[in-house]
Amino acid sequence: MSTRTNSSIKTNPGNYFEDFKMGQEIVHATPRTITHGDVSLYTALYGMRFATNSSDEFARTALGLERAPVDDMLAFHMVFGKTVPDISLNAVANLGYANGKFVEPVYPGDTVTTTSTVLGLHENKGGKTGVVHVRSVGVNQRRETVLDYVRWVMVRKQDKDSPAPDTIVPDLPKAVDADDLTVPDNLQIENYDAALAGSPHFWEDYEKGEKIDHVDGMTIEESDHMLATRLYQNTAKVHFNQHTERVGFFGRRIIYGGHIISLARSLSFNGLANAFKVAAINGGRHVAPTFAGHTVYAWSEVLDTMEVPGHADLGALRLRTVATKDNACTEFPYKTEEGKYDLSVVLDFDYTVLMPKRN
């Protein structure tokens, strides 16, 4: 005679809104060693062409790095993916980012782990969902910080009648200051090769208010975003479980918002090829959902040009990159006169990159 055990006490259903508490610290499971295979698959998914992440030889000779670091957004997704089972398994949507700082470069062979702290809670009208603010910190095997960022996510309540917590929304900076940007140790730019990098345009060539149409577009296939969510070990139901999402709000799986960020960053190569490193995430909003079959385009606006203290050979550009679906960016679609986003806009991403100066 066989017996059955109650597995409900052994499986993880994910946290619902009422499970989060202010100041709560969460150690996320499953450390991840990032390999050359991850880098190759990431390139296959997004067509990333930045020379610093593509060539060990370029990284050494043009920038003085030990070898090619992994793309900063790949590091971001690996750190982010650790948080999903605890933070956003029961999410409706990831809403935004702020105060993100990339610190130590991540190289193939490095292992990243992530911890998070709850910074804010706010129950939404109707009592079915709430917004959770968390600060997540990713470290490598030497306990050096590789990424420190804040995000907020809308999470379902399991019990609609559970009492609402006190509303606390953290006060976050609008942008990461130039003084807080981290430049890789031993960076040397005197031998930087713009021809191999793919653009003759250096930091001095960009002006505040300038807009750049990145021209190219990329159509998302179901296989693309499914591979991406699995690559990052992102287990959110809204991205990979059609069985549950067919009766959800949209009736189908939505594309992981980070997938759109990486597509936009990849497309930005055409116009910003010398932006060799993402240094900060100042803010970001997933404006609308994206689904398989949509074609993503992108354009960028230079929000600011900044000197980097202690570094006369490079500067920083604060950029707004806007991604659209099924709408080319020749006319820079963004917001209407009434302040509402154009219907094609899916991402409004504010971030800072490092770029060599001409001399």
Judged against a pLDDT cut of 80, whether residue 314 lies above it is answered with yes
The whole-angstrom separation of Cα 117 and Cα 120 is 9
What are the distances in angstroms from CA 4 to CA 1, 7, 13? 10, 9, 20
pTM (predicted TM-score): 0.93
The confidence score (pLDDT) of residue 3 equals 45
Percent of the chain with pLDDT over 70: 98
Q: Which of 4-13, 45-54, 75-84 shows the lowest per-residue confidence on average (mean pLDDT)?
A: 4-13
**Band of the pLDDT at 253, cuts 50, 70, 90?**
confident
CA gap 118, 246 in Å, rounded? 31
SS3 content of the chain, % helix, strand, coil (to 5): 25, 30, 45
Give the residue-averaged pLDDT of 61-74.
Answer: 97
Query: What is the per-residue pLDDT for 4?
Result: 45
pLDDT band (50, 70, 90) for residue 82: very high
List, for residues 102-123, the tens digit of each pLDDT value. 999 999 999 999 999 999 999 9
Q: What average pLDDT score do residues 217-238 get?
A: 91
| Mean of the per-residue pLDDT values of the chain | 94
Q: Report pLDDT digits (tens) over 179-188.
A: 999 999 889 9
Domain spans, the chain: 19-158+196-356
Q: What is the mean pLDDT of residues 150-172?
A: 93
Q: What is the pLDDT at residue 108? A: 98
CATH superfamily ID and name for 19-158+196-356:
Hotdog Thioesterase (3.10.129.10)
Mean pLDDT of 52-63: 97
Residue 308 has pLDDT above 70, yes or no: yes
